[in-house]
Amino acid sequence: MVDGGKRRRRWAVLGAALAGAVLISGVGLWATDGRPFKDRYCWESWQQDSGPRFLGDHALGKSGSERVAVESGTPGSGGGTATCTLTVSSAVPDDDSPQPIGFQDRVTLSYGPVPEAPEERRDWIDRYFSGSASPLPDGLDGLVSNDRAMLVLPEACDVDGRPSAVTLWAESWGDGHRGKRAMPLSIATLPDVSRMLLDAADAGMRKAGCAPEEPLRTTAPMARLAEDGDGAENPVCRIPGVTFDLGEDRRYEQQVGVVGDRLQTCSVVSRQLGSPDEPEAQFVMAASPRTAAVFAGLPEGVGQGLVRTACDGRNTVFYAHVGPGLGDGGGKKDRQVFERFTDAVGRRVGCEPAKGTEGATR
């Protein structure tokens, strides 16, 4: 028999040992930066120091840096678009001013249906079908660049007949004595941006109640197919017959992206110091069902820059959006360019004559 005093002493020793083990475990987690002490961002889509440099210590290398996430809405709530902006703020001394230069690097994550209004939808398409982006592998309907990414979600996530998508958009701003200046922002490598995109899609679909049984993943390597932007020259995008008066007063660059049987993209942008790239022309051929669904509901016709046809048995969409800097607002010049685009690409992928060859100008 063990008397009561000895029993109490044994329990005290055991309790102290357990407390020490917990303390040591906690210190170990802190020292190894274990998950319980890591921040999570944007509906718990991403975790601090999980790989992409924007989520790691590298992004906090400038003086006074901090990383903050601000969520607006929840995926699936009310059928609208939910957004989360992850911002890294910092400041550096300005040699020409007593005030430091403030920097804000922002990655905005959005989950929701593609825009309903035609002009908003075209702006969305022009941004995320950029020729700077490369396609996701393994049959996923998405595009990834260093500064943006887009994934069209499964049909179960549609809202009012419109496909839902997850997007990433990066931008950087410096605010010094010369005012706000826009600068390029690279989120991470293409594989890391792809991982961020798919992690956000999985988290969003779970909250919206439309997640598939297995998480979205890629096994094939992420290849950079898109070329670096170079000076635009005729024929633009290397598409026979697609020509513009490029002039000499503005700097136009073309970005030739995907050139495949199910997707082709090319963008023309104008570049001005201190301002984001402005899209001037966008060309897309889309033949996978989920990607083609993004264009459903837009006005169709040559004058609208959108026609459909069958290519090797696939429902295929041809899309072009030419801005006022290069085009004539959907007039004769734009229609001619669009017809040459559909003819050249259509012959390459074996298409029947396009449907809906008429249409009012935009």
pLDDT digits (tens, 9 = 90+) for 47-65: 998 888 888 877 777 667 8
pLDDT of residue 317: 97
- Single out the residue of 218, 171, 172 nearest to residue 191, CA to CA: 218
Question: Contact at 8 Å (CB) between 265 and 131?
Answer: yes
Q: CA-to-CA distance for 165 and 241, rounded, in angstroms?
A: 33
Token pair belonging to 75: 């995926």
pLDDT, mean of residues 216-234: 75
Amino acid identity, position 105: D
pLDDT digits (tens, 9 = 90+) for 287-341: 999 999 999 999 999 999 999 999 988 999 999 999 888 888 888 999 999 999 9
Residue 90: strand pairing partners: 103
DSSP state of 117: S
Q: What is the CA radius of gyration of the chain?
A: 26
pLDDT, mean of residues 114-133: 95
Q: CA-to-CA distance for 299 and 250, rounded, in angstroms?
A: 31
DSSP state of 293: H
DSSP state of 281: E
Give every CB contact of residue 323 below 8 A, 6+ residues apart in sequence. 278, 279, 280, 281
pLDDT of residue 354: 67
Q: CA-to-CA distance for 181 and 229, rounded, in angstroms?
A: 21
